[in-house]
Structure formats: structure tokens, C-alpha cells
Amino acid sequence: MRFYKNFIVFWAVFYFAVAIIGRVYTYKKEIFPFFRWSLYSKTPNKLVYPYVLVNKVGDSVLPKPTNILDLYSVHDLALTDLKLMVNNFYYDIEAFPGNKNAYQGVFLNVLPKDSEFTLYIKELDLSVEDYKETEKHHQVLNVKNNKINPN
């Protein structure tokens, strides 16, 4: 039993020593696997979550706007890949604030031609204790027949 106590004490002392040495002597003031002092200070207070609602797929008009992630039988993409594509689509559109029609990326080819969908963003302020009440939805743009119509 004494071996285990010494083992735990040794590794605890080693772990904290590396954390303190990293804090004092390294450029970034941390050695990541041991301590991440700035983990929460670099988390943004405002969260922006883009999502796409589809109104029409090819010639079929949907009864209500449907999240593109729920239409996996149409696009045949993995959900994680599609989420990343939606995020990249939003950030690429934001890169062209004056001319959103300049976007020529692959996201316009996810759905069949003549499809209609709308890009929205959900914003949350995480600095407030009840952040759910700060939830706001904004429409960014519409896409009809692979043509971007900014709002």
C-alpha cells in the first residue's frame, strides 16, 4: 500500500511542478497537457450558430421549412461534414459583406438544382446567467435556383 501512496504523491508533485514551471518559464505561460490556464478566458461570450432551412428540394415543395441536417436522404452526406459545410458557407458569405453573390463554393451543389433554402444564424450571449433568453434568430440570405438573394 505504501508503494501506491508514494506513486500518487510523486506524480501529483510532478504534475504541479510542470504546471508551475510552465507558468513561469514558457512563452505562452502554459504547457497544454498539464494545465490550460487560459481555457475559459479564450471562450467567446457571443456564440453564433448558422443553420439552413430548406423550403424546396428540386421540384418538391416541402410542407414546412426543414433543417438541412434532417434531409440526409437527399444530400447523402455525413452530419458532421454537412455541419462543417454550413459553418464554412456562413463564414465564406461573411467574408464578402458587400457582394454575397461572389460566393461560388460547393455548398450550392449540396441540394439538387431548383432548390430553395434560407441561411439563418442563431446568436447567444453566454456572459448572461440565463443565456437562453438572449437567443436571437436572424435571416442572412435566401438561395433560389443556385442564386444568392441577400436580405
How do residues 104-134 score in pLDDT, each as one tens digit?
778 888 888 888 999 999 999 888 888 888 8
- Rounded to two decimals, what is the model's pTM? 0.70
Q: Which residue shows C-alpha cell 479564450?
A: 42
- Name beta bridge partners: 66: 54
Separation between Cα atoms, residue 120 and residue 52, nearest integer Å: 6
Which ranges of the chain have pLDDT less than 70? 1, 31-41, 98-102
In the DSSP assignment, the letter for residue 112 is: P
Q: Are strands 46-57 and 116-125 parallel, antiparallel or unpaired?
A: antiparallel
Strand order in the sheet with 136-144: 60-67, 46-57, 116-125, 136-144, 147-150
